[in-house]
Amino acid sequence: MRRNLLLAQTFAQTLRADILMITGAREATALSIPPGVDTLTLPALFKQDDGLYRPRRFSFDVQELIALRAQIIRSALEMFQPDVFIVDNVPRGAMGELDPALHYLRLDTPAHIILGLRDVLDTPETVRRQWRAHANFEAVRELYDAVWVYGDPAVYDLAEAYDFPREFRARMRFTGYLDAAARDEANAAPPNDLPPALRDEPFNLCVVGGGQDGAHLATLFAHAAQAHDTPGLIVTGPYMPAGARERLHRLAETTPHLHVTRFVSAPTALFRRAGRVVSMGGYNTVCELLSTGKPALILPRLHPRKEQLIRAERLSRMGLLDVMLPAQATPGRLLGWLRQASAPHPPPRTRIDMRGLERLPALLAEALPTHFAPVPHPQPRLRHVAC
């Protein structure tokens, strides 16, 4: 959601594009949506630890929900008639829900179809096995015109690591990492949903992504914050189980300088305000940490995917952040890290490519040269869909 909102803002500002974001997260509407962008929210899925999906809120069978989502997506695209369809991370969508839309766009429209991938997907053996099982290579070959990788091969060369086929690599372009600080919200201070007690003083921050599996890290941080003089803020994310969130609020009630909030609408602005950050290692969070240059400790998720571990270890070896494995983490060790003097890390932009958002308009022009031929209008006019 946040990654595609960065893309949407970039294209809305540089290409005067009309952009429809199709998302399964209703929280998308709480974020800052730029002019020219609107959202379509699908009935939500829940991805379990075993990698299987179930409805997040509905009681009926997951196959029925996938059929409903697939019909909504295809119908929206038939009405919107996009010039460009950008799919995030999963070539065929959850459980193949994008298949009807992709075949419609390929067979009945001139739309250009692009797959956007994170810098790291999982271990090489897992990616090869899953992509073969889900026929992802065939989907890319038959249905996609380009593949954008939102990363830097100097950190992780996805094509080499996963031994992607030659025809797949020919369509790949590494964009560089997406610098979240380029968004307008990065200059907003303080975020409106920041607790009032923290608006005028430094604080340490703990973020756990959506929060679905972040309760352990948040609890460790809460106990460490109890022994630390600097105020602490935990952002639980919208999907942390209610019981775990309630326990954190009870801890905060006995720790005056510990604060807990569920969601913030301007995450990059929040990172800018923080002193030190403890976090899981999801792509969006890591990009925001690199963008703001904050001292960061990553406790990566290890199951069901190793994506966060691989990313964190690569960036740690480059001296850009610190890593602690969850099994080694204790409140005492977190407290020790929080109390460290902030040793200067090298500016990320001097070590890795952070120019992804700058390159996206040129990559789109490369993919759609006819749309960018000289015309009487000051800017090309496109429709664009991010999913």
Domain total of the chain: 2
Print the domain residue range for 12: 2-177+353-386
Section 181-195 average pLDDT: 63
Q: 63: exposed, middle or buried (C-beta count within 10 Å: 0-12, 13-18, 19+)?
A: exposed
Statement to judge: residues 6 and 127 lie in one domain: yes
Statement to judge: residues 324 and 190 lie in one domain: yes
Copy the structure tokens of residue 201.
């003083």
Statement to judge: residues 166 and 225 lie in one domain: no
- For 92-134, how does the pLDDT look when each residue is reduced to its tens digit (9 = 90+)? 999 999 999 999 999 999 999 999 999 999 999 999 999 999 9
Statement to judge: residues 194 and 281 lie in one domain: yes
Sign of CA dihedral 206, 208, 209, 215: negative
Statement to judge: residues 239 and 255 lie in one domain: yes
Statement to judge: residues 372 and 323 lie in one domain: no
Q: Specify the pLDDT at position 377.
A: 46
Domain containing 312 — which CATH number? 3.40.50.2000
Give every CB contact of residue 46 below 8 A, 6+ residues apart in sequence: 53, 54, 55, 56
- For 9-43, how does the pLDDT look when each residue is reduced to its tens digit (9 = 90+)? 899 888 888 999 999 887 776 677 888 999 999 99
Q: Specify the pLDDT at position 101.
A: 98
Q: Specify the pLDDT at position 343.
A: 63
Statement to judge: residues 42 and 72 lie in one domain: yes
Statement to judge: residues 286 and 369 lie in one domain: no
As a whole number of angstroms, the distance between CA 245 and CA 238 comes to 10
Rounded to two decimals, what is the model's pTM?
Answer: 0.91
Domain containing 94 — which CATH number? 3.40.50
